[in-house]
Structure 1
Amino acid sequence: MGIQRSGIKLLVSKIGSSLVGFIGLSYFSKLSGGSILGPFFLIQAGLAITAIPADLGIRSAVEKRISEGQDPGVVLSSGILLKVILLCATGLVVFFFRSYINSYLGGSFWHIFFLGLVLQEVALLFIGVLRGELRVGDTALMSFIRNTSWVIFGYLLYTLGIEYNAPIIGLLIGFVLISIIGLLKISTSFSSPSWAQMQSLVDFGKYDALSKVSWQVFSWLDILVIGYFLSSVHVAAYEVSWRITAVTTLLATVISTTIFPHVSSLSSAEREQRIEDIVKKSLIPSFLIVIPSLFGILVIGPEILTIAFSDQFIFAKNALVILMILRIAQSAHSIFSRSLSALNHPELVTKSSVITAVINVCLNIVLVPLYGLAGAASATAVSYSINSIIQYKYLSQYISVHIPIKIAAWSLIASGIMFLSISYVHTLITIDSLVKLVLIICVGVLSYCLSILFSSRVRSEIRFVVKSVKN
Structure 2
Amino acid sequence: MNYTNVLRSSLGTFVTRIGLSVAVFLGIFYLAVATSPVVLGIYSLFIAVIRVLDLLTNVGISEAAQKRISEGTERDEFFTATLVVRLGLFVPVGISVTIYHQQIATYIGSGLVVPFLFAGSFTFLVRKTIEAGLVGEKKVAQAGLLQSVYAIGQLMSWILFVSFGYGLFGVLLGYVIGQTVASVVGLLLLELRLKRPTVQHFRSLFEFAKYSWIGAVTTQSWIWTDTLVLGLFVVSSFIGVYELSWQITGVLFLLASAISSTLFANISELSIHDETERITDLLERSLVYTGILAIPGVVGGMIFAEPLLAIFGEEYRVGATVVAVLILSRLFHSYEVVFGNVINALDRPDLMFRTNVVFILVNLVLNVVAVTTIGWVGAALATTGAMILKTGLSYRYIRSILTFSVPIEEILLEVLSALIMGACLWFLVPVSSTLLPFETIVFISLGAAIYAVSVLLLVERVRIATADVFRSLLRIKA
Shared fold (TM-score greater than 0.5)?
A: yes
Given the alignment of the two structures, is residue 316 of structure 1 paired with residue 351 of structure 2, yes or no?
Answer: no
Distance in 2 separating the partners of 1:150 and 1:41: 14
Counterpart of 1:263 in structure 2 is: 267
Task: Give the residue type in structure 1 aligned to 2:181.
Answer: L
CA contact (8 A) 1:207 1:346 kept: yes
Distance in 2 separating the partners of 1:263 and 1:60: 15
The change in CA–CA distance for 1:23 and 1:184 in structure 2 (over 3 A counts) is closer
Shift of 1:465: 4.1
Distance in 1 separating the partners of 2:301 and 2:76: 48
Counterpart of 1:359 in structure 2 is: 362
Instruction: Provide, for residues 4-60 of structure 1, a one-character-per-residue CA deviation record: whole Å limited to 9, x for no partner.
Output: 443233211211221222222222212333122111111111111221111111111
Distance in 2 separating the partners of 1:147 and 1:206: 31
Task: Give the residue type in structure 1 aligned to 2:375.
Answer: G
Distance in 2 separating the partners of 1:62 and 1:452: 38
Counterpart of 1:152 in structure 2 is: 156
CA contact (8 A) 1:395 1:401 kept: no
Shift of 1:349: 0.9
> Aligned ranges for residues 374-413 of structure 1 at < 5 Å?
374-413=377-416
Shift of 1:391: 0.8
Equivalent residue in structure 2 for 1:86, among 84, 89, 101? 89
**TM-score normalised by L of structure 2:** 0.94
CA contact (8 A) 1:251 1:286 kept: yes
Task: Give the residue type in structure 2 aligned to 1:149.
Answer: G
Equivalent residue in structure 2 for 1:295, among 267, 292, 299? 299
Counterpart of 2:100 in structure 1 is: 97
CA contact (8 A) 1:26 1:310 kept: no
Counterpart of 1:371 in structure 2 is: 374
Task: Give the residue type in structure 2 aligned to 1:127.
Answer: E
The change in CA–CA distance for 1:52 and 1:423 in structure 2 (over 3 A counts) is same
Given the alignment of the two structures, is residue 304 of structure 1 paired with residue 295 of structure 2, yes or no?
Answer: no
Shift of 1:204: 0.9
Given the alignment of the two structures, is residue 462 of structure 1 paired with residue 463 of structure 2, yes or no?
Answer: no
The change in CA–CA distance for 1:341 and 1:409 in structure 2 (over 3 A counts) is same
Moved more, 445-454 or 376-385: 445-454
CA contact (8 A) 2:20 2:145 kept: no
Shift of 1:364: 0.5
Give the 3-state SS of the residue equivalent to 1:188 in structure 2: coil
The change in CA–CA distance for 1:63 and 1:210 in structure 2 (over 3 A counts) is same
Shift of 1:148: 3.3
Any stretches of 5+ residues in structure 1 without a counterpart? none
Counterpart of 1:426 in structure 2 is: 429
Distance in 1 separating the partners of 2:429 and 2:13: 34
Give the 3-state SS of the residue equivalent to 2:168 in structure 1: coil
Counterpart of 2:114 in structure 1 is: 110
CA contact (8 A) 1:421 1:443 kept: no
Counterpart of 1:347 in structure 2 is: 350
CA contact (8 A) 2:67 2:268 kept: yes
Task: Give the residue type in structure 2 aligned to 1:343.
Answer: L
Task: Give the residue type in structure 2 aligned to 1:390.
Answer: L
RMSD over aligned CA atoms reads 1.8
**TM-score normalised by L of structure 1:** 0.95
Distance in 2 separating the partners of 1:56 and 1:284: 33
Task: Give the residue type in structure 1 aligned to 2:12.
Answer: K
The change in CA–CA distance for 1:198 and 1:2 in structure 2 (over 3 A counts) is farther
Distance in 1 separating the partners of 2:9 and 2:97: 38
Shift of 1:262: 1.4
Shift of 1:450: 2.5
CA contact (8 A) 1:74 1:190 kept: yes
Structure 1 stretches of 4+ moved >4 Å: 467-471
CA contact (8 A) 2:154 2:175 kept: yes
Distance in 2 separating the partners of 1:146 and 1:372: 33
Give the 3-state SS of the residue equivalent to 1:432 in structure 2: coil
Task: Give the residue type in structure 2 aligned to 1:400.
Answer: T
Distance in 1 separating the partners of 2:8 and 2:428: 38
Distance in 2 separating the partners of 1:395 and 1:428: 44
Equivalent residue in structure 2 for 1:164, among 142, 164, 168? 168
Distance in 1 separating the partners of 2:394 and 2:471: 31
Distance in 1 separating the partners of 2:282 and 2:169: 44
Counterpart of 2:336 in structure 1 is: 333
The count of corresponding residues between Structure 1 and Structure 2 is 470
Give the 3-state SS of the residue equivalent to 1:43 in structure 2: helix
Distance in 1 separating the partners of 2:399 and 2:468: 25
The change in CA–CA distance for 1:130 and 1:93 in structure 2 (over 3 A counts) is same
Distance in 2 separating the partners of 1:356 and 1:162: 40
Task: Give the residue type in structure 2 aligned to 1:22.
Answer: F
Percent identical pairs in the alignment equals 26
CA contact (8 A) 1:330 1:384 kept: yes
Any stretches of 5+ residues in structure 2 without a counterpart? none
Given the alignment of the two structures, is residue 436 of structure 1 paired with residue 439 of structure 2, yes or no?
Answer: yes
Given the alignment of the two structures, is residue 231 of structure 1 paired with residue 231 of structure 2, yes or no?
Answer: no
The change in CA–CA distance for 1:295 and 1:381 in structure 2 (over 3 A counts) is same
Distance in 2 separating the partners of 1:234 and 1:271: 50
Distance in 2 separating the partners of 1:300 and 1:78: 48
Equivalent residue in structure 2 for 1:49, among 23, 31, 52? 52
Counterpart of 1:9 in structure 2 is: 12
CA contact (8 A) 1:155 1:167 kept: no
Task: Give the residue type in structure 1 aligned to 2:304.
Answer: I
Given the alignment of the two structures, is residue 71 of structure 1 paired with residue 102 of structure 2, yes or no?
Answer: no
Shift of 1:359: 0.5
CA contact (8 A) 2:135 2:143 kept: yes
Counterpart of 1:141 in structure 2 is: 145
Distance in 1 separating the partners of 2:415 and 2:8: 29
CA contact (8 A) 1:340 1:346 kept: yes
Equivalent residue in structure 1 for 2:286, among 247, 268, 282? 282
Distance in 2 separating the partners of 1:390 and 1:44: 29
CA contact (8 A) 1:290 1:328 kept: yes
Shift of 1:2: 5.0
Give the 3-state SS of the residue equivalent to 2:225 in structure 1: helix
CA contact (8 A) 2:62 2:129 kept: yes
CA contact (8 A) 2:11 2:255 kept: no
Task: Give the residue type in structure 2 aligned to 1:132.
Answer: G
Shift of 1:417: 1.4
Distance in 2 separating the partners of 1:300 and 1:443: 12
Task: Give the residue type in structure 1 aligned to 2:383.
Answer: T
